[in-house]
């Protein structure tokens, strides 16, 4: 899969590619926040995904949550910054969101195993990629 250019992201960006899936370019940072999100949120969802239905959304499937954990572990292994938050999408997806300096980035892990990457600069869409 060809690498993607995401110039809208932080200047100290490093390009990474999830094998067979997604190329993401973003700033490098520590991994403790990733571990916390993986262990205290995604793995909790994996044990009981239906508890999310109480929040008024279609719960992500075990397969979707498992793929989100794989994506998170890969990004952690590459030293990528942790998202600001991880939320269930209304369509059974898992959404990684990150905000910094007027920018917003999201990575949607969809039930069909598609991954959508969006980047906004001051509320203007500057990048949309799907893998």
pLDDT digits (tens, 9 = 90+) for 32-78: 889 999 999 999 999 988 777 766 678 899 999 999 999 999 889 98
Confidence of residue 30 (pLDDT cuts 50, 70, 90): low
Instruction: Say what the pLDDT of residue 2 is.
Output: 29
- Compute how many other C-beta atoms are within 10 angstroms of the C-beta atom of residue 32: 10
- C-alpha to C-alpha distance for 71 and 15, rounded to whole angstroms: 15
**Angle at Cα 67 formed by Cα 65 and Cα 71, nearest 5°?**
115
- C-alpha to C-alpha distance for 93 and 113, rounded to whole angstroms: 9
Record the pTM: 0.74
């Amino acid at each position: 899969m060809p690498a993607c250019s995401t110039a809208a992201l932080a200047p100290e960006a490093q390009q990474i590619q999830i094998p067979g899936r997604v190329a993401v370019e973003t700033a490098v940072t520590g991994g403790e926040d990733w571990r916390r999100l993986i262990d205290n949120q995604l793995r909790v969802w994996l044990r009981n995904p239906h508890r999310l239905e109480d929040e008024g959304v279609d719960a992500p499937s075990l397969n979707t949550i498992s793929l989100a954990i794989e994506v998170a572990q890969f990004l952690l292994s590459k030293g990528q910054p942790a998202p600001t938050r991880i939320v269930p999408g209304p369509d059974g997806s898992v959404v990684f969101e990150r905000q910094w300096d007027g920018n917003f980035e999201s990575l949607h892990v969809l039930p069909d195993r598609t991954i959508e990457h969006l980047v906004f600069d001051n509320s203007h869409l500057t990048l949309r990629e799907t893998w």
